[in-house]
Chains A and B, each alone.
With several copies, the nearest count.
Chain A
Amino acid sequence: MKKFINNPENVVEEMLEGMAAAHSDELRRLPGWNVLVRKDAPLPGKVGLVSGGGSGHEPAHAGYIGENMLDAAVAGEVFTSPAPDQILEAIKAVDSGSGVLLIVKNFSGDVMNFDMAAEMAAAEGIDTEQVVVKDDMAVENEEDRRGTAGTVLVHKIVGTAVEEGLDLQEAAELARHVIGHTRSMGVSLSPSTVPASGKPGFTLADDEMELGTGIHGEPGMERKKIQPADVVAEELLNNVTADLDVKNGEEVVVLVNGQGSTPLMELYIVYRKAAALLAGRNISIHTSMVGEYMSSLEMAGCSITLLKLDDTMKKYIT
């Protein structure tokens, strides 16, 4: 394991100290908690937006704190859901009395910890709503689909909407609407290593890729010989467009996400093919995002996320 760390046990603490120091104009840390909060939160009259999860997915989620995005991000240990008391502090810090929306990725740990936090918040008289992002098509059973890069689109759209005055129920409804129209699928070339364990999360042969690997290295759908970028892009895109049932004339947001060590150059090569295929099917791209939005430490790989737009969502895309 070759990493710039001091002690595997302190990576999250030290990362948070670094983030708080580097971005003190925009955010602050809740003293004693692994929670970063928008500097001017709570914003009077605005629904608070809280997300979080295991660390190791940076810039998710602290990187999405700010105007038209999150009010707070809760950081768990690497690839491990944060505990309810941490989440509760985030909720309390951003609630202006208008309630707090919790944006959770669908992993059993995250869902349970956010559930408990919501119960604790209720006991303290704070309204919350919880939405669970399930965009990862690699899992067959819809209910078990993991939350991945699509989460960022929920942050963005709902973040803008609550800034424009949506109330808690409306925000939750919009978030569920976005989630219902978002699908992702990834492919990995090499694993990441969690500092505490020091061992790679999985192994792949030198000429192998895995379709559908989860953002923590959870097993995907299939391993096969590595394919040219265009073939990979087409396979990912076909899967998501089929499941979303995107049709001729419709409009989408495309997000090509890097998992950690895949160069931006390769992401653009993948994007190029995806864009060409969409153009060929007369599906127009409203917004394109190419980069590391939801990483998995130094995993090599990428994913394609598609959001099928309608007017409800479009007005909140800035």
Chain B
Amino acid sequence: MELTTNDMKQWLLTAGEKMQDNKEYLSELDQAIGDGDHGHNMARGFQEAADGVKGSGEEDIGSIVKSAAMTLISKIGGASGPLYGTAFLKASNEWKDKTSLTQNELAQGLEAAVEGVKTRGKAESGGKTMLDVWVPVVEYVQQRDLVPSELAAKAKESMEQTEGMKANKGRASYYGEESKTHIDPGAYSSYLLFEALAEALDKEEV
């Protein structure tokens, strides 16, 4: 596989659309075990990031992702803002000056992103957070030949598995056992993000 500057833009644009389309659902998920703003936070942040992409020129992947990261940091707010922002910021460091990524380079960026999220959130996987999508997805990208549909399936499956987990981080942790009967909103938005990546890569292969 190869991920070009254009694909990267497409990823962010598609992610923006998906967050917008799923705004109400994400907030509903967050209403159940949080404060009901996750969809609004994500839609607001990714919309602005997508707008930034639209207005950007012929830049390298690193700078596109870095400016998206800064937008996410300043526009999402709440817990997910610093987390998604840090993820993209860490990845952008790995992708500096590149105009195309190999699968290996993609994996390196995503790995850095996961580390960033873990440090920022003082969390590990298994705590019913976005990490429970990020960690298995990144492992998949590191270890397998990337097939977009498989990537999306991995993200979906991981997201679904957060139902049944007990939250120990973020607002959902206050719900204790009750949190188990719900999907984690951040896991769902991360699934949307990786589905958008799969679609961006899929287009390329057509």
- The short answer to whether A and B are in direct contact, CB under 8 Å, is yes
Q: Which residues of A contact B (CB under 8 A)?
A: 54, 76-86, 107-109, 112-113, 115-116, 139, 144, 146, 194, 196-197, 199, 201, 214, 216-219
Report B19-76 residues with CB < 8 Å from chain A CB.
27, 31, 35-37, 40-41, 70, 73-76
* Cα–Cα, bound, A146→B170 (Å): 11
Q: Is A112's CB under 8 angstroms from B83's CB?
A: yes
Given contacts A116-B82, A197-B27, contact A108 B171 (CB under 8 A): yes
Q: Chain B residues near A86 (CB, 8 Å)?
A: 74
* B173 interface hit (Cβ, 8 Å): yes
Q: How far is the CA of A216 from the CA of B33 in the complex (A)?
A: 12
- What is the distance, in angstroms, from A77's C-beta to the closest C-beta of chain B? 6
Closest to B178 in A: A219
Within 8 Å by CB of B171, from A196, A197, A218, lies A218
Bound CA–CA A217/B73 (angstroms)? 25
For B76, list chain A residues within 8 Å (CB). Answer: 83
The 4 tightest CB contacts between A and B, nearest first, are: A109-B79, A112-B82, A109-B78, A85-B74
- What are the residues of chain A within 8 A of B176 when measuring CB–CB? 219
Whether A83 pairs with B120 at a CB distance below 8 angstroms is no
Neighbouring B residues of A219 by C-beta, 8 Å: 174-176, 178
> B35, B41, B80, B81: which has the most chain A beta carbons within 10 Å?
B35
Q: How far is the CA of A115 from the CA of B81 in the complex (A)?
A: 12
B residues in contact (CB < 8 Å) with A? 27, 31, 35-37, 40-41, 70, 73-83, 85-86, 120-121, 169-171, 173-176, 178
Residues in chain A near residue B120, CB distance under 8 A: 112, 115-116
- By a CB distance below 8 angstroms, the chain B residues around A85 are 70, 73-74
Known: A109-B78, A109-B81, A218-B174. A194 touches B73 (CB 8 A): no
Tell me the complex Cα distance, A217–B31, Å.
10
Tell me whether B37 and A84 are in contact (CB under 8 A).
no
- Smallest beta-carbon distance B17→chain A, Å: 19
Find out whether the CB atom of A217 lies under 8 angstroms from the CB atom of B78. no
Is the CB–CB distance between B31 and A197 below 8 Å? Answer: yes
Please tell me if the beta carbons of A113 and B27 are within 8 angstroms of each other in the complex.
no
Known: A78-B37, A107-B79, A197-B37. 4 other contacts (CB 8 A): A80-B77, A116-B85, A139-B174, A219-B176
- List the B residue with the shortest CB-CB distance to A114: B82
Given A115-B82, A139-B174, A79:B74 Cβ within 8 A: no
Give which listed residue, A83, A112, A146, A217, contacts B74 with CB less than 8 A: A83
* Neighbouring B residues of A108 by C-beta, 8 Å: 79, 121, 169-171
User: Which one of B40, B86, B170 contacts A196 once the chains associate, using CB atoms below 8 Å?
Assistant: B40
* Residue from the set B40, B70, B85 with the largest chain A CB neighbour count within 10 Å: B40
* Interchain CB contact under 8 A, B82 and A80: no
CA distance A80 to B120 in the complex (A): 17
Residues of A within 8 A of B169 (CB): 108
Question: Could you say which residues of chain A place their CB within 8 Å of the CB of B78?
Answer: 54, 76-77, 80-81, 109
Residue contact B173 to A113, C-beta cutoff 8 Å: no
Residue with the greatest number of chain A CB neighbours at <10 A, chosen from B37, B70, B78: B78
Give the CA-CA distance A79 to B34 in the complex, in Å: 11
Shortest distance from the beta carbon of B139 to any chain A beta carbon, whole Å? 24
Instruction: With both chains docked as a complex, state the minimum distance between the C-beta of B131 and any C-beta of chain A, in angstroms.
Output: 13
Contact (Cβ within 8 A) B36 A194: yes
* Contact assessment for A80 and B41 in the assembled complex, using a CB-CB cutoff below 8 Å: yes
- Measured CA separation A112–B176 after assembly (Å): 22
Q: Is the CB of A83 within 8 A of B174?
A: no
- In the bound complex, CA of A218 to CA of B172 (Å): 9
CB atoms of B27 and A84 under 8 A apart:
no
| Contact with A113, one of B31, B35, B81 (Cβ below 8 angstroms) | B81
